[in-house]
Amino acid sequence: MDVERFAAELPELFDDFPRSEHPRGRRFDDVIEGVPNLAEENVLALLNLAASLLAPGESYVEVGTYYGASLLGAMRGNKGDFVAVDLFSFEAHEAKGRKLPAASRKGLEENLRRFGLEGATILEGDAFEVIEGGALGARRVGVYYYDGPHDYDSQVRGLQAIEPWLANEALLVVDDHDWDHVARATGDYLAQQPRARKLFEIGGADKGQPHWWEGVAVLAWSGD
């Protein structure tokens, strides 16, 4: 994973990073409009760029896929190994005026077909049991997107769990970073893990930027 190239190119996706409401080209508005989601187009553009910079043999892995908006965003126009981990236990509710249905693996698979994206591996189950149980096999993970359980302990564990599979250079993307306990978990993780550092912290709705949903943090991992 070319971390420095990612850091250089992410601002170039926007006319005024991070204040732009949409990336240039608006390549993901159809996903946001057509798939139940808890995201915004800017976040999908970030994931797409990250996935485009995977080195040969590296994987993109995400925890918390729901109906697949983030996975679709990462996969669009990119080739490689894409893995989604989800328990599909998310219940129907309303968020920011959006009525969201209960999670459905069938719905996720239908969306992948509808958008013409094939080859993703779906690992159904508790994220920690899946990852810590070795279901990723011999993969080397270049991009890891965590949008799973957001309580403090799960946030820290979610970052620690993926470490054995991370490529020598990798990105860890943490969603909903506006939330105090999420940001605190990230800070505590960084304080005890010298191989990781913060590249970006982009405020979301709580910071006056709803076009980044609830904010996102991007960490760089170095195995050296």
Domains of the chain, by residue range, sit at: 3-222
**DSSP structure class, residue 10:** T
pLDDT in tens, 161-216: 999 999 999 999 999 999 999 999 999 999 999 999 999 999 999 999 999 999 99
What is the reported pTM? 0.96
Q: Which residues contact 147 (CB under 8 A, 6 or more apart)?
A: 38, 62, 63, 64, 70, 175, 176
CB contact at 8 A, 218 and 200: yes
Q: Which secondary structure element, helix H or strand E, spans residue 122, and what is its range?
A: strand 121-124
CATH class of 3-222: alpha beta
Q: Which secondary structure element, helix H or strand E, spans residue 169, and what is its range?
A: strand 166-175
Helix (H, G, I), strand (E, B) or coil at 191: helix
pLDDT in tens, 67-92: 999 999 999 999 999 999 999 988 88
